[in-house]
Structure 1
């Protein structure tokens, strides 16, 4: 793994390399500020993204909905990837952590995010917010975005209850993309 990091995230050279910022889960405003510089794509991956969905409905629009609207108008694609609450793996995860209501809450969250995506679509933005399901089970919440064509940022707040819950600090990584990357949206990429 160290060799892979050395090859794909060269150290030194100003804005090249890997920078880690550790802090707690960002507030809605901090989250909006952190993704505001995305230039082409944002991808959020989580088990159900319930906290993310709540930012759209429980906060004033200026805190999160409006910044997301500005990103879509600027041409930034936003994709939310959630675990399929109907999958066998999700059901097993729910049983393992002792939360039999989790599949229903996850389904409600996915429905809410889909409604939000449709509302943004009806506004006619040049790019879209999409919600996708995976039959895999994300073991952490991951947020990625591209601040510019040469860099990618990844936030990894510790939210997976199977591994002790959100008690450790959030880590945000900023990585310079290797010239061999074919797309700015691939934070780790190999030789051409």
Structure 2
């Protein structure tokens, strides 16, 4: 049953139950008063007990019951209604499907969870893809290599876009970042991914690795999962001057909930890919 249908069903049910609760409380209260009236002016153990029972039903049972079920529930409902109005006023454009990793790169398990949603294609845009290579070389196979292998078995195509290590923009970027070893790191990672590609190609899997070289600085790292599909997903982070790439906040975006933003980033990724050279 859809959430809205459940809500539509629950609302009248709660009101109906609330009326029965209230009626039960009133009956218990009247019964207590009636017992007190019947025993009024009479003496003896039985009548004294009847008075006490009447008092107990009216005061100790009925009144707290009515407060809990009627008055208190109304106060609670009023609070929830006011809270809902406050959220709607403060966050009128809020949508789910956007997750922020403020402290930097998400954990390997978080990234694998994103990749495992892929049905057709994963496009990875970056400069050297050192973290990707590190996941293969430095982590247990079960954490990263095996999930990638399963996706390749399902026919998912992985496209990796590297910054061309021989381009002038790569040299300028390395100099600007003060990373004299960046060019060599790009070449090392590129060769490592080529080795992985050869390894998987030999297995004859439905999916495959594709490697691209770009002479355009991407300005961001991105992992785009099924970008052409309605349920596409994208993990992005900009390249910030003076900040280590692993420390830059990352955004996990759902195309279904944030289509305009998703399509904007996807257009940039496609532009870089179309101007890249396949190797």
Asked if these proteins are the same fold (TM beyond 0.5), I'd say yes
Note closer, same or farther for the CA distance 1:45–1:123 as it changes in structure 2 (3 Å cut): same
Structure with the largest fraction of helix: 2
1:96 equivalent to 2:176? Answer yes
Contact 2:124–2:160 under 8 Å retained in 1: yes
1:60 equivalent to 2:140? Answer yes
Match of 1:39 among 112, 119, 139: 119
Tell me the CA shift for residue 161 of structure 1. Answer: 4.8
Work out which of the two has the higher radius of gyration on C-alpha atoms and give 1 or 2.
2
- Which consecutive residues of structure 2, in runs of 5 or more, have no partner in the other structure? 1-92, 258-264, 268-279
Note closer, same or farther for the CA distance 1:187–1:96 as it changes in structure 2 (3 Å cut): closer
Alpha-carbon RMSD = 2.6
**TM-score (structure 1 length as normaliser):** 0.78
- Which consecutive residues of structure 1, in runs of 5 or more, have no partner in the other structure? 1-10, 178-185
Tell me the CA shift for residue 150 of structure 1. Answer: 2.0
* Count of residues paired in the alignment: 167
1:20 equivalent to 2:98? Answer yes
The structure whose RCO (Cα within 8 Å, separation 6+) is larger is 1
**TM-score (structure 2 length as normaliser):** 0.55
CA distance in 1, matches of 2:228, 2:187: 34
Tell me what 2:210 maps to.
130
Tell me the CA shift for residue 157 of structure 1. Answer: 3.1
- 1:82-161 equivalent positions in 2, closer than 5 A: 82-146=162-226, 149-158=229-238, 160-161=239-240
Contact 1:38–1:148 under 8 Å retained in 2: no
Structure with the largest fraction of strand: 1
Note closer, same or farther for the CA distance 1:25–1:136 as it changes in structure 2 (3 Å cut): same
Tell me the CA shift for residue 164 of structure 1. Answer: 2.9
CA distance in 1, matches of 2:228, 2:125: 21
CA distance in 2, matches of 1:42, 1:52: 13
1:164 equivalent to 2:243? Answer yes
Tell me what 1:8 maps to.
none
Note closer, same or farther for the CA distance 1:97–1:40 as it changes in structure 2 (3 Å cut): same
